[in-house]
Amino acid sequence: DAMVIQNPRYQVTQFGKPVTLSCSQTLNHNVMYWYQQKSSQAPKLLFHYYDKDFNNEADTPDNFQSRRPNTSFCFLDIRSPGLGDAAMYLCATNTGTSGSGAQYFGPGTRLTVL
Amino acid sequence: GEDVEQSLFLSVREGDSSVINCTYTDSSSTYLYWYKQEPGAGLQLLTYIFSNMDMKQDQRLTVLLNKKDKHLSLRIADTQTGDSAIYFCADQNTGNQFYFGTGTSLTVIP
């Protein structure tokens, strides 16, 4: 059974047209993360939520926003996508409690910007 | 963020052992992880080690951690063609943040 679900798997948008990527989880984990992964590169952490507390990475552009309306769902909003934002976007979850807090990843959404 | 580095490529023959290396700079690491990524897919957790351990074995996988040198390695015994993928190491700090290495592309030659 899928535990971290991302929709859609492939998203095409136009330069400057806002786009929203969706992530949901059935694990009831406290923490949800968004990563950007460009071709042949490591996933780059954009931000994460610990419950409702939002934690932004210092170098995440303002163009990227996130919402977490409840435990299960987290959204990534790209307000004005540029060509450089084309990438795979990965969502992950983590229990947030002490102990082996492994991350569980979704399959990713590949974003194309035309 | 913290720096986590890996060599980019590794080729081995089927049946041989593979050793993938990783170095990191985070002095507050709690756990270190190895993930596998196949083309077009998300990251699959392979194994992990607590930062106070030196070694962990899990079937064909052996993780070695040298905390003093901040060096982590993953050994895959009896490497198979299905092991061909990109392998990422990641460190988790006390703030629940994860930082990934650059990834090592493993090619297994039949």
Per-residue pLDDT tens over the stretch A82-111? 999 999 999 999 887 655 567 889 999 999
- Match 């163009």 to its residue by tokens: A63
Nearest to A96 among B90, B96, B100 (CB): B96
Q: Which residues of B touch A55 (CB under 8 A)?
A: 95, 97
Chain B contacts in chain A segment 66-105 (CB below 8 A): 90, 92, 94, 96, 100-105
- Which residues lie below 8 Å from residue A61, measured CB to CB, with a gap of 6+? none
pLDDT on residue B104: 96
CA torsion through residues A54, B102, A98, A92, sign: positive
- Compute the average pLDDT of residues A36-57: 90
pLDDT over 90, % of chain A: 75
Interface contact flag, A48 B50, Cβ < 8 Å: no
Report yes or no: B19 and B73 within 8 Å, Cβ to Cβ.
Answer: yes
Report yes or no: A98 and A32 within 8 Å, Cβ to Cβ.
Answer: no
- Compute the average pLDDT of residues A8-26: 96
Interface contact flag, A102 B48, Cβ < 8 Å: yes
Q: Which residues of A touch B42 (CB under 8 A)?
A: 4, 90, 105-108
pLDDT on residue A100: 57
Closest CA to B46 of B14, B88, B106: B88
The C-alpha of B75 sits at a distance from chain A's nearest C-alpha, in angstroms, of 20
The C-alpha of A29 sits at a distance from chain B's nearest C-alpha, in angstroms, of 12
Q: Which residues of B touch A33 (CB under 8 A)?
A: 98
Nearest to B1 among A40, A45, A106 (CB): A45
CA torsion through residues B31, B63, B56, B79, sign: positive
pLDDT on residue B89: 95
Report d(CA B99, CA B82) in Å as an integer: 26
DSSP 8-state secondary structure symbol assigned to residue B40? T
pLDDT on residue A101: 66
Report yes or no: A25 and A72 within 8 Å, Cβ to Cβ.
Answer: yes
The C-alpha of B41 sits at a distance from chain A's nearest C-alpha, in angstroms, of 5
Tokens at residue A20, please?
Answer: 């929203």
pLDDT on residue A20: 97
Nearest to B88 among A42, A59, A102 (CB): A42
> pLDDT below 50 — which residues of chain B?
none
pLDDT on residue A10: 95
- Which residues lie below 8 Å from residue B32, measured CB to CB, with a gap of 6+? B22, B24, B48, B49, B51, B63, B65, B72, B89, B90, B91, B92
Cβ-Cβ contacts under 8 Å between A and B: the total is 63
Question: How high is the mean pLDDT of chain A?
Answer: 91
pLDDT on residue A25: 96
- Of A54-58, A66-70, B16-20, B80-84, least confident by mean pLDDT is A54-58
Report yes or no: B80 and B14 within 8 Å, Cβ to Cβ.
Answer: yes
Q: What is the DSSP string of A51-67?
A: TTEEEE-TT--TTEEEE
